[in-house]
């Protein structure tokens, strides 16, 4: 949220004024002290949850189970439930998080207020039963349970379920609107991905929403202490989710570092895997690939040339024509790559991309000589980006080609070597998002300088004709 467009401002303004209109209805005199005690405990619970969210993806998203507190307010605050829930949601404004700007705070507070009010109104409209609250002194003096309390729950469950779904939908809908508006005009970051996919996030929210009902049940026995009890599993879950996100970042970083290590063997291809990975991600987004497959194709791009390590350095360094044996050694690299990464379970489909990234549409590629639709989609994507990155990088025998020229070259070979649809998608993506400009690299002396590039479609490897 660096610089907001006027549409974004308008969007925020509408939500904030809606929230203000809701909060203006607070009947400051009528609810008794019990309302305020219950509200205070739930607000505190909300605040604790909201102050330590897990950050998802590129720091635009944050998730916390705070909605459990809002939904408990719907059940516990009786006929003031809707306002109470709205008020609990408004606490997000004072969430204890650094790096949260005022606009973000206002938006979050307003968004939770609207969501809480919507849930509360739904619950009341469906004639949901409230839970009779036990106050602190009842708890301390061990007042007996009202035997009819289980009836209240029986009549609260279904209205509550609907209210919870309304809360989740309003919450996600408003956040999505914000992200869609805010995304326009900023450069895309295909590397960033939400660590916790959207369907999972929705499911998690619905699952934790049920906790609102559990909090109310515990409230009947323990009064306000119920909040403290449910915090424990919430924090354990948060820890596991945070660990997951952290390990996933570590995993990506490790993968990248190891690919870079492989590249040190060849000076001119530095950064190649990273760029191919990025380009593959751009194509995946352009053609609307599912998030998990898009992620897999990025991994395939990252790892596609790992097998080059199995090609003897002297073959890579050789100037002039290659013998058939040497050419065969180069053709083996996709299989060598497969050999290395085969055991990595999560790669699945990415393996096909690694193995077949040198197939050609006309069937004259290697290692299998597949043609057309026989070639897996991942491989067709990587083939395009691979060739493009090779052309736009400088080589010992030529300067880097400009981006428009390289695209033109791709289009020329579309059909014979590349899948025209993938080329089109890539051209559109580069047109929109651009391509990282590379500094012309100067060797420092001790690196290995290769004089050929097997990826370069403009200067194919020359093989000695057998006489």
Partner 1 sequence: MAWQTVDTGRLLLLSFTASLVVVAAAGTALAHFQAVNVAIAFGLYIGFGELLRLVLPGGREAAPIAMSAALSYAMVLTIARSPHYDAFGELTQEPFHRAPPLQVVLVAAIGMVIGSLPHIAAGRRAGLTGMSARLVAVACVAFIFDPLARHLNHRPGVALGVIALLAVLGWLIKTVILAIIRAEDLRARYSVTLSDELRVQWRLGLAVVVSAIITIFGAEVMGLAELAVFAGPLLVIQFAFRRYAGIRATYLQTVRALAQVTEVGGYVDSGHSRRVSRLSLAIGRELGMPEPELLNLEYAALMHDIGQLSLAEPIPGGATLLVSPADARRIAEFGAEVIGQTGVLETVAELVRFQWLPASGSMTPPLGSKVIRAANAFDELVGGSADRDRTAAAIVRLKQEASEYDPEVVAALATVTDRLPITRL
**CB of 225 or CB of 397, closer to partner 1:** 225
Smallest gap, in angstroms, from Cβ of residue 204 to partner 1?
5
**CB of 233 or CB of 443, closer to partner 1:** 233
Q: Which stretch binds partner 1 (CB under 8 A): 185-193, 201-209, 390-398, 454-462?
A: 201-209
Terminal C-alpha separation, the chain: 66
Smallest gap, in angstroms, from Cβ of residue 150 to partner 1?
4
**Angle, CA of 387, 392 and 398, to the nearest 5°:** 100
**Which residue of 22, 211, 330, 429 would you call a contact of partner 1, by CB under 8 A?**
211
Helix (H) or strand (E) holding 55: strand 54-56
Smallest gap, in angstroms, from Cβ of residue 102 to partner 1?
32
Residue 253: half-sphere exposure toward Cβ, Cα within 13 Å? 6
Instruction: Note whether 151 binds partner 1 by CB under 8 A.
Output: yes
Smallest gap, in angstroms, from Cβ of residue 208 to partner 1?
5
**Which residue of 41, 74, 119, 262 would you call a contact of partner 1, by CB under 8 A?**
262
| Residues between 154 and 193 with contacts to partner 1, criterion CB under 8 A | 154, 157
Distance CA 357, CA 343 (A): 19
> Is the separation of the CB atoms in 312 and 329 below 8 Å?
yes
Please name the residues in contact with 466: beta carbons below 8 A apart, sequence gap of 6 or more: 324
Task: Choose among 12, 21, 203: nearest CA to 108.
Answer: 12
| Residues between 402 and 421 with contacts to partner 1, criterion CB under 8 A | none
Contact flags string 350-389 toward partner 1, x per CB under 8 A: ----------------------------------------
Instruction: Note whether 217 binds partner 1 by CB under 8 A.
Output: yes
Distance CA 368, CA 358 (A): 9
Radius of gyration of the chain (CA): 29
| Residues between 21 and 80 with contacts to partner 1, criterion CB under 8 A | 68
**Which residue of 12, 284, 294, 306 would you call a contact of partner 1, by CB under 8 A?**
306
Smallest gap, in angstroms, from Cβ of residue 20 to partner 1?
32
Helix (H) or strand (E) holding 200: helix 198-222
**Angle, CA of 376, 380 and 385, to the nearest 5°:** 145
**Which residue of 2, 137, 144, 467 would you call a contact of partner 1, by CB under 8 A?**
144
| Residues between 226 and 245 with contacts to partner 1, criterion CB under 8 A | 229-230, 232-233, 236-237, 239-241, 243-244
Smallest gap, in angstroms, from Cβ of residue 358 to partner 1?
17
The residue with tokens 């597949």 is 370
**Which residue of 27, 32, 33, 147 would you call a contact of partner 1, by CB under 8 A?**
147
**Which residue of 115, 133, 276, 341 would you call a contact of partner 1, by CB under 8 A?**
341
The residue with tokens 């897999």 is 296
Distance CA 302, CA 298 (A): 6
**Which residue of 37, 309, 428, 458 would you call a contact of partner 1, by CB under 8 A?**
309
3-state helix, strand, coil in the chain (%, to 5): 65, 5, 30
| Residues between 428 and 457 with contacts to partner 1, criterion CB under 8 A | 448
Distance CA 104, CA 83 (A): 22
Instruction: Note whether 313 binds partner 1 by CB under 8 A.
Output: yes
**CB of 9 or CB of 244, closer to partner 1:** 244
Contact flags string 123-142 toward partner 1, x per CB under 8 A: ----------------x--x
- DSSP 8-class letter at 61: E
Instruction: Note whether 206 binds partner 1 by CB under 8 A.
Output: yes
Residue 132 three-state SS: coil
Q: Which stretch binds partner 1 (CB under 8 A): 36-44, 83-91, 209-217, 353-361?
A: 209-217
Distance CA 234, CA 65 (A): 7
**Which residue of 5, 17, 254, 323 would you call a contact of partner 1, by CB under 8 A?**
254
Smallest gap, in angstroms, from Cβ of residue 350 to partner 1?
12
Please name the residues in contact with 99: beta carbons below 8 A apart, sequence gap of 6 or more: none
**CB of 2 or CB of 148, closer to partner 1:** 148
Residue 122 three-state SS: helix
């Amino acid at each position: 949220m660096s610089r907001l467009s006027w549409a974004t401002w308008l969007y925020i303004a509408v939500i904030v004024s809606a929230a203000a209109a809701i909060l203006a209805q607070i009947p400051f005199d009528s609810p008794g002290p019990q309302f305020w005690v219950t509200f205070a405990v739930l607000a505190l619970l909300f605040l604790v949850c909201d102050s330590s969210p897990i950050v998802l993806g590129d720091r635009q998203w944050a998730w916390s189970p705070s909605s459990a507190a809002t939904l408990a307010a719907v059940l516990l605050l009786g006929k003031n439930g809707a306002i109470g829930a709205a008020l609990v949601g408004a606490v997000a404004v004072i969430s204890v998080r650094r790096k949260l700007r005022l606009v973000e705070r206002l938006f979050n507070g307003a968004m939770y207020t609207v969501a809480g009010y919507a849930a509360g109104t739904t619950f009341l409209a469906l004639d949901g039963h409230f839970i009779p609250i036990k106050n602190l002194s009842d708890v301390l003096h061990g007042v007996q349970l009202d035997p009819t309390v289980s009836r209240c729950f029986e009549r609260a469950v279904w209205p509550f379920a609907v209210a919870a779904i309304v809360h989740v939908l309003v919450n996600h809908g408003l956040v999505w609107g914000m992200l869609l508006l805010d995304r326009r005009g900023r450069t895309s970051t295909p590397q960033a991905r939400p660590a916790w996919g959207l369907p999972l996030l929705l499911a998690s929210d619905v699952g934790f929403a049920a906790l609102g009902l559990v909090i109310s049940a515990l409230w009947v026995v323990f009064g306000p202490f119920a909040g403290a009890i449910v915090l424990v599993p919430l924090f354990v879950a948060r820890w596991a989710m945070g660990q997951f996100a952290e390990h996933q970042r570590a995993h990506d970083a490790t993968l990248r570092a190891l690919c870079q290590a492989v590249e040190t063997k060849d000076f001119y291809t530095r950064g190649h895997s990273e760029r191919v990975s990025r380009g593959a991600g751009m194509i995946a987004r352009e053609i609307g690939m599912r998030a998990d497959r898009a992620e897999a194709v990025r991994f395939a791009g990252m790892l596609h040339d790992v097998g080059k390590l199995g090609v003897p350095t002297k073959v890579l360094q050789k100037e002039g024509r290659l013998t058939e044996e040497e050419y065969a050694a180069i053709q083996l690299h996709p299989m060598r790559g497969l050999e290395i990464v085969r055991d990595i379970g999560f790669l699945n489909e990415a393996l096909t991309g690694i193995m077949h990234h040198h197939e050609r549409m006309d069937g004259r590629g290697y290692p299998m000589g597949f043609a057309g639709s026989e070639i897996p989609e991942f491989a067709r994507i990587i083939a395009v980006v691979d060739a493009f990155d090779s052309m736009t990088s400088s080589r010992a025998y030529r300067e880097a080609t400009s981006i428009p020229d390289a695209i033109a070259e791709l289009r020329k070979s579309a059909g014979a070597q590349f899948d025209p649809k993938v080329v089109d998608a890539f051209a559109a993506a580069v047109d929109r998002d651009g391509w990282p400009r590379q500094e012309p690299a100067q060797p420092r002396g001790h690196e290995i300088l290769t004089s050929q590039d097997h990826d370069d479609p403009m200067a194919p490897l020359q093989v000695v004709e057998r006489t």
